[in-house]
A and B are shown apart, each in its own frame.
Chain A
């Protein structure tokens, strides 16, 4: 498996920083704080921490091991481990992450636009923040910024693993962490910030008995760590044979959640210090496409940070630079996943990048122009990630969980050995969590949409089942043809 011309990450630290770039995205910054606020502050943090160990880290371990063992992207990796007749599952994993790439590039474009506006000072000069966002999002400029975001990512991928992915992530992740630490120091020293920290860390015990808090914690872990997306699996193709799996996986999971904790402390301290009694209302409002807090409310707060325009501008620039770095490092991995799949089919890297970037630009345009379309895609493929995680766990079960654990995870290069508890998590806990999550999300959508079966509504069960069904149906029909080609190309 694999080929002799393959590139490798130059060191363990390069692999770790690049993989951390996948995991740390805008979800750590804008989604985490909102979900914490909606689920009782500190009460949410306890289940969120538990699911890190029984969902995220086991799946990150699985992805690292699958990529290192098979030297193929998710499609080839699942075809090899689960068997040729299940190749369509790998194709689905690739499709879900690629569909996310189409609109995530638009989100990255929004971050870049707000970074530009903060740099020019326009963002802080405006008095009407909602109007500023609406003028931008309702016009055509999101297409331009979507193009910029995708072009940067395609260029990084074009430069290769060491000169592109590795180098870019070293800059982006380091910038992100450095800025978050500076912002943390400023945020917690604002007068009144302690009220925010108190809310963030105080558990309300009645929330712990509410099943919705637990489900939200599981969902946040599923969406925010990148576990089960197939992205870590793709980067693991480029890890050396004598590289560790379990310790690296635990570092990624904990590193990602550390970033969420720091971002949470920044946002809660800032919002409580500068917004006063209305803080909770503002922080729980998701706004259009979950943008309320990040693109409408936070710019307003940056304007109030001090009496100096320049100081406020510096903090706004730093925040949107951190957000753009987080978004770009994740977008790069999404583009690489799609590109790597075409490479696995025997297509030359340059041609694959050109094709993926062109496809990404075209299919991202509807999300750039229409927030309802964006919401639909975010909903359908966001929930679809739960299926992706299930398919990865299924591939391991088919391969033999104990064999996978002892021979691949605990194989050559492993710094620590994983015990039999891993078999139990993959065989029972992950499938159980998948079933509970899927049922909950689909049943919940029926409550907010009486026409839950209608596939043309933006966010309901019908549109998920319809779009997943079409994609799975196509891949099942083409299964034999595609698996023969992908496995044949690597021989």
Chain B
């Protein structure tokens, strides 16, 4: 039982967190491309 709970917490936080953030990043990037921001190659910071 304890093993399963730990596996779910650890894998859920790390791998699950990674996948969730990846989905958020994909959506944000899609919006940026829509707005044309992602395609602007700035020459300087």
Q: Which residues of A contact B (CB under 8 A)?
A: 1-2, 4, 6, 8, 11-12, 16, 42, 45-46, 49, 52, 68-71, 197-198, 201-203, 240-242, 244, 247-248, 250-251, 254-255, 257-258, 261, 413, 415-416
A203 touches B13 (CB 8 A): no
B45 touches A251 (CB 8 A): no
Q: What would be 19 A-B contacts, judged by CB atoms less than 8 Å apart? A: A1-B44, A2-B43, A8-B42, A12-B25, A42-B3, A45-B6, A197-B7, A201-B4, A201-B10, A241-B40, A241-B44, A247-B21, A247-B24, A247-B25, A254-B14, A261-B14, A413-B37, A415-B25, A415-B28
In the complex the two chains form, what is the Cα distance from A415 to B29 in whole Å?
Answer: 9
Residues of A within 8 A of B11 (CB): 261
Q: Choose one: A240, A248, A258; the contact of B41 (CB below 8 Å).
A: A240
Q: B42: nearest residue on chain A (CB-CB)?
A: A241
A201 touches B37 (CB 8 A): no
Shortest B37–chain A CB gap in Å is 5
Residues of A within 8 A of B44 (CB): 1-2, 4, 6, 71, 241
B10 touches A240 (CB 8 A): no
Residues of B within 8 A of A69 (CB): 45
In the complex the two chains form, what is the Cα distance from A69 to B42 in whole Å?
Answer: 13
A4 touches B43 (CB 8 A): yes
Interface centre among A11, A16, A49, A242, by most B CB within 10 Å? Answer: A242
Given contacts A71-B45, A202-B3, contact A49 B13 (CB under 8 A): yes
A49 touches B43 (CB 8 A): no
Q: Which residues of B contact A (CB under 8 A)?
A: 2-4, 6-7, 10-11, 13-15, 17-18, 21-22, 24-25, 28-29, 32, 37-38, 40-45
A241 touches B45 (CB 8 A): yes
Residues of B within 8 A of A242 (CB): 32, 37-38, 40, 42
In the complex the two chains form, what is the Cα distance from A257 to B10 in whole Å?
Answer: 10
Q: Choose one: A11, A202, A244; the contact of B2 (CB below 8 Å).
A: A202
Chain A interface main SS type: helix
A201 touches B7 (CB 8 A): yes
In the complex the two chains form, what is the Cα distance from A183 to B14 in whole Å?
Answer: 20
Residues of A within 8 A of B21 (CB): 247, 250-251, 254
A251 touches B18 (CB 8 A): yes
Residues of B within 8 A of A201 (CB): 3-4, 6-7, 10
In the complex the two chains form, what is the Cα distance from A4 to B43 in whole Å?
Answer: 6
B6 touches A251 (CB 8 A): no
Residues of A within 8 A of B24 (CB): 247, 415-416
B40 touches A248 (CB 8 A): no
A240 touches B42 (CB 8 A): yes
Q: B11: nearest residue on chain A (CB-CB)?
A: A261
In the complex the two chains form, what is the Cα distance from A241 to B40 in whole Å?
Answer: 9
Residues of A within 8 A of B37 (CB): 242, 413
Residues of B within 8 A of A49 (CB): 10, 13-14
Residues of B within 8 A of A248 (CB): 25
Residues of A within 8 A of B38 (CB): 11-12, 240, 242
Residues of B within 8 A of A254 (CB): 14-15, 17-18, 21
In the complex the two chains form, what is the Cα distance from A12 to B38 in whole Å?
Answer: 8
Residues of A within 8 A of B14 (CB): 49, 52, 254, 257-258, 261
In the complex the two chains form, what is the Cα distance from A46 to B10 in whole Å?
Answer: 7
Residues of B within 8 A of A12 (CB): 25, 29, 38
Q: Choose one: A251, A257, A416; the contact of B22 (CB below 8 Å).
A: A251
